[in-house]
Amino acid sequence: MTGPTTHRLDLDEGTLVYDVLGEGPLVVLAHGMGDSRRSYRFLVPALAAAGYRVANLDLRGCGDSSHGWTGYSRTDIAGDLLALVRHLVGTSSDRAVLVGQSISGGAATIAAADAPDLIAGVVELAPFTRAQSADLGGLLRSKRYRASGTLLARTLLLGSVPSWMKYLELAYPTTPADWADERDRIRTSMSEPARMKVLQAMAKSSPADAGARLPDVTCPVLVVEGSLDPDWADPRAEGERILADLPPGLGELAVIDGAGHYPHAQTPEELLALVLPFLTRTLARA
């Protein structure tokens, strides 16, 4: 199999850059804030080898996509995801599965609710899909949760690159073999003022728009949490809350032991063992 091909999608406000690899049913990958499509570098070849056409997107303002967009909410990102799916399926009746991590988990929820004719299923990785409330008990119990909140607040308020990099140390309880190079790439990217402003804008956006659409989703949803994700004192409980807000019977939850906020980069084999059966079940019904 040859490597991925890189493409540009020009929208009214800017340009999205994405890679495509493989042939078959469409799977669209969307990363989290402060990141790029490189975060799926371990999943893309495996999904393509399993018989899927994989589109791996740089979100608006991230990676190689343009910045200067008017908004960076989950609703904005959902519109981009649907624009990409429409572009790739063309006039066919094909539907796609969306895989979204963190902020993109919420965006994928909105996209699925808005366009059930285009979206056959959603995989949400460590998703921020509901409005968050202060977990005072969790702050007392969990040092990782306390530290994560402090570092994210410094990043949000001060645009602190060192705070973001320290947050990533918590979010990756163990790191992939290429982490030294990847960490340097992320630090360089986030040191660009325009990229940091995008991260801050995404961090300021409320997940309430996604949470409000959970009851409107009609396709299967797989929520995957990492047991050591520092963004929640109890990641499993957060996943259960998402499932409770979906229509009955649509959602399933898996927790990967030892994973943090980036299971697709930290524990790709464990994640693939969950995602591939979900894709088989979901796209067979599409």
> In the CATH hierarchy, which fold is given to the domain comprising 5-134+206-285?
Rossmann fold (3.40.50)
Contact 32, 58 (CB under 8 A): no
DSSP 181-218: HHHHHHHHHHTSHHHHHHHHHHHHS-THHHHTTGGG--
- Residue 156 has a pLDDT of 93
Question: What tens digit of pLDDT does each residue of 146-165 get?
Answer: 898 899 999 999 999 999 99
- Residues 150 and 156: their CA atoms lie apart, in Å, by 10
**What are the DSSP E strand ranges found in 102-186?**
119-125
Phi, psi of 224 (to 5 degrees): -120, 125
Question: What tens digit of pLDDT does each residue of 86-133 get?
Answer: 999 987 889 999 999 999 999 999 999 999 999 999 999 999 999 887
- Residues 238 and 252: their CA atoms lie apart, in Å, by 13
Domain layout of the chain by residue ranges: 5-134+206-285
pLDDT of 169 above 80: yes
Contact 37, 56 (CB under 8 A): yes
Question: What tens digit of pLDDT does each residue of 48-96 get?
Answer: 999 999 999 999 999 999 989 999 999 999 999 999 999 999 878 899 9
pLDDT of 1 above 70: no
Contact 166, 151 (CB under 8 A): yes
Instruction: Supply the pTM of this predicted model.
Output: 0.95
Contact 259, 270 (CB under 8 A): yes
